[in-house]
Amino acid sequence: MPDDLADGIQRLAGMLAASERCVAMTGVRLGATEETEARAAGSAWGEAASLEVLLIEPGRFWANWLPRAVEASWRTVTPAHLALGRLHDAGIITAVITQAVDHLHAQASGGEVVEVHANVLSCRCERCDDVYALSEVQGLIEDSADGVPRCTREGCCYPLRPTGTLWGEPLIEAAIIRAWDLAATCDLFVIIDSQLRTDPMAMLPSVPLQAGIPVVIVGTTRTHYDRYATMVIPRPAPEVLPGVVDLLVP
Ligand SMILES: [Zn+2]
């Protein structure tokens, strides 16, 4: 292990040990490469998960969205999720705010996870609020003539939509309020594997920074907050978090 990495892990562990309310923020895919996140934030998901396409060409929307949602639903927790989950369950981290839609943080920890985009594991009917698991939606699409899943409640038949937010619509208000509240009241804010390029989440680190709360950034992508951070560990989360756990969790 290079000295700078060992030193970063040691310093982060020390800051976490001294913190009473640490909040972690993660990007769209913890432990993923920069390239993966760049794709996710760019045209692939942007096109596949567009509100406009859902409204204008629903058949095309579902043909694009479903395979990507299914892929995300098949992902399993990584060593980085498990390490963060152990810090969370040990009370060393108070809450996790995530841009990920794969629901893996909630699988890795019983603590508070704020999914600002919700997740891709379900769809819902906006008319009667019924919720459908992704596997049910898959079946409804296969059985429909136009590739659009519809509510199966008697007399409803309204077209379904993903439960999570789509590109082109605002994030879930309750999640955003909670994320801003956590960022304002923490005593240490740790950003992990997020490029911080998607608004409004790209603005979230300014909340602790303006309050004088220390911010640590872990990840290989440079961000526009690096210069303001107390510490930047420019290494992938899977190289950093397990080492922190080894120092802090018995
Ligand atoms: Zn319905």
Residue 84 in any domain: the answer is yes
Q: How far is CA 196 from the centre of its chain?
A: 12
What the block records as the tokens of 167 is 């590109």
Residue 7 in any domain: the answer is yes
Could you report the per-residue pLDDT of 134-187, keeping only the tens digit for each? 999 999 999 999 999 999 999 999 999 999 988 888 888 999 999 999 999 999
Residue 66 in any domain: the answer is no
pLDDT for the residue 3: 77
Distance, in Å, from the CA atom of 232 to the CA atom of 216, rounded to the nearest integer, reads 6
Average pLDDT, the chain: 91
Residue 55 in any domain: the answer is no
Average pLDDT over residues 12-28: 96
What the block records as the tokens of 142 is 């296969």
Whether pTM exceeds 0.85: yes
Residue 221 in any domain: the answer is yes
Provide the terminal-to-terminal Cα distance of the chain, rounded to the nearest Å: 21
pLDDT for the residue 72: 87
145 CA distance to ligand 1 centroid (A)? 18
pLDDT surpassing 90 at residue 38: no
Average pLDDT over residues 69-78: 90
CA dihedral 62, 68, 69, 73 (to 10 degrees): 150
106 and 113 in contact (C-beta within 8 Å)? yes
Residue 215 in any domain: the answer is yes
59 CA distance to ligand 1 centroid (A)? 18
pLDDT surpassing 50 at residue 37: no
pLDDT for the residue 170: 86
Q: What are phi and psi of 46, to 5 degrees?
A: -55, -40
pLDDT surpassing 50 at residue 39: no
What the block records as the tokens of 215 is 């911010």
Average pLDDT over residues 51-68: 92
Residue 223 in any domain: the answer is yes
pLDDT surpassing 80 at residue 45: no
74 and 47 in contact (C-beta within 8 Å)? no
pLDDT surpassing 70 at residue 44: no
Distance, in Å, from the CA atom of 77 to the CA atom of 153, rounded to the nearest integer, reads 34
pLDDT for the residue 194: 87
pLDDT for the residue 2: 66
pLDDT for the residue 199: 80
Residue 71 in any domain: the answer is no
What residues contact 193, with CB distance under 8 A and at least 6 apart? 26, 27, 29, 30, 31, 32, 37, 80, 218, 219, 221, 236, 237
152 CA distance to ligand 1 centroid (A)? 7
Domain total of the chain: 1
Per the structure, the complete domain to which residue 193 belongs is given by 3-34+76-118+170-248
Average pLDDT over residues 203-219: 97
14 CA distance to ligand 1 centroid (A)? 51
Distance, in Å, from the CA atom of 119 to the CA atom of 115, rounded to the nearest integer, reads 7
pLDDT for the residue 32: 66
What the block records as the tokens of 35 is 């390239």
**CATH code at position 23:** 3.40.50.1220
127 CA distance to ligand 1 centroid (A)? 5
Q: What are phi and psi of 127, to 5 degrees?
A: -85, -50
Q: What are phi and psi of 161, to 5 degrees?
A: -140, 155
To the nearest 10 degrees (0 to 180), the angle between helices 79-89 and 237-248 is: 30
